[in-house]
Amino acid sequence: MKRISIKKICVSLIAIGLTQYTFANVEQFEAVPGEYVVKLKNDVKSLTDLNLEKFATQGVRVISEENNTILVKREFLEKTQFALTALNNQPEIEYAEPNYIYRTNRLPDDPELSKLWGLVNKGNALAGVDIGAEQAWDIQTGSKKVIVAVIDTGVDYTLSDLSPNMWTNDAELNGEAGKDDDGNGYIDDVYGYDFANTDSDPIDDHGHGSHCSGTIGAKGNDGKGLVGVAWNVRIMALKFLTKSGSGSLEGALKSIDYASKMGANIMSNSWGGGSHSQALEDAIKRASDAGALFVAAAGNHSGDNDAKPTYPATYDVENVVSVAAIDNNGRLAGFSCYGQKTVDVAAPGVGILSSTPGGYKSWSGTSMATPHVSGIAALLLSEFPEMTHKEIKERLIATAKPLSQLRVKTVAGGVANAYYALLNEPAPKDPNDPYYWASKEYKLETAHPYLGSTSKQWVIELDSVSAMALHFKRFDTEKSYDKVTFKDADGNILGIMSGVNDDSFSPVVTGGKMIIQFDSDKSVNKFGFEIDAISYR
């Protein structure tokens, strides 16, 4: 549903006709990154005769030929004041100002919202590390026309957060008990089906499926409980995982085919295991042919899915979106699988609060990251009902918000973002990513392979910098056992790296001094590390 009222934002107006422009504090106001509204002087008679590209580095589009107004796109990392000064010094320009964002600042009144850092993170660890839900909700909050099949341990459709948004099979709901009223092969399948116990009641007796459902679509703005990514949606409950949390290939196949047959737009799959199954891949292809997006958890065993696939997340089918997990500092979760070629995006997956039959609980896993992406997909389909699953997947990847730790860990190099996905705009680069900083060559490496029971420390210093990070050309240690610890000048731990982290950066240290400590045990000895550069600012 669109909202037409807007909240007025006070801005410093740039007076037309003055030769001096004041840009004090413009960066404190929200604006589209890298975009500026430019009014050309009246003596510029034709925009077609003007070399508009000289005003921009990223492109220009016309707002109004009649009013000589254009929109200029410049580099995201360029300072706003610098860009405005450069633009206003052009003789053809009457004035330029940021492309300010106006919004209702609408937030739901659900009392648990402040605890949902994955949706709106205003100070839980690193502020702003979330999926951009607050901004997205001013554009779209979801639609009951969108059906998300949660293929899991079932859904507790009696929970107050979930019951208003449950999908129902109206033919069975309004039909005759004990009869297959819609002829789909299942009797009394009102909310979905239980393929674990072969009955028509997919009630959740574990909690996992309800937890995922709450993140996707807990009813929003109803003054109680918590809220999902999509305030309005229809959740189809498909149970193939038992009370113990396990299920069979047979149940998975039946669940996927049921969802395809009954019109699910999105399938949310926070489960995995087993080797490659042609039957499961074929079922996912049938879902793709039916037009459904298949969102899947990348896995929780810290593995590289490029090297060793995790299923179903790594099936090479065009409707599959594989999801890694991050914590509230924007770091890849220690348990999360990754893959520069096979894991599409990341999403919040550590300490995620949601609904269960036993009350609100905080759980962690790529299982918790996956429903964030399913919810974003639901918002996209609510806003753009004609989008195909292929287009949604491409949009999720193209508009992900870059995070330095994800640059070589996922296809997108960032965390899925609902706001930029709805805008269909690339999210701004991460200014804290050392990849975009200046760099200089620096050589430091362990023995290859390193020796067992190693304990060695290095102090690295660089003059006249405000921050720096080390670049690892190669990094391969025995995961969880052989570690590199990074400390600042005062000995405070900045972070720890272990496992395979080729072409990656260390944590960032403030100032020009970093202490690194390498410790190995007596067992497996791998390559070690090779530092080839320092990035700094």
Show which residues are catalytic: 152, 208, 367
Taking the C-alpha atoms of residue 192 and residue 213, their distance in angstroms, rounded to an integer, is 14
CB-based contact 469:506 (threshold 8 Å): yes
Q: Which residue is listed with tokens 């520069």?
A: 340
The CA radius of gyration of the chain, in Å to the nearest whole number, is 26
Pair of tokens at residue 58: 């990223």
Record the tokens describing residue 101, joined without a space.
Answer: 């964002």
Task: Identify the burial level of 275 via C-beta atoms within 10 angstroms of its C-beta, where 0-12 means exposed, 13-18 middle and 19 or more buried.
Answer: exposed
CA of residue 374 relative to chain centroid, distance: 10
Integer Cα distance of 395 and 402 in angstroms: 14
Alpha-carbon gap, residue 153 to 211, rounded angstroms: 10
Cβ atoms of residues 169 and 153 within 8 Å: no
The label of the residue with tokens 């028509």 reads 200
Buried b (16+ CB within 10 A) or exposed e, 501-526: beebbbbbbeebbbbbebbbeeeebb
SS3 label, residue 516: strand
Residue type for position 464: S
CA distance 252 to 89: 63
| 32/265 Cα distance (integer angstroms) | 31
Give residues with Cβ within 8 angstroms of 281, minimum separation 6.
312, 315, 317
CA distance 98 to 81: 10
The answer to whether the beta carbons of residues 360 and 403 sit under 8 Å apart is no
Distance set, CA 237 to CA 207, 324, 438, 499 (Å):
13, 23, 51, 38
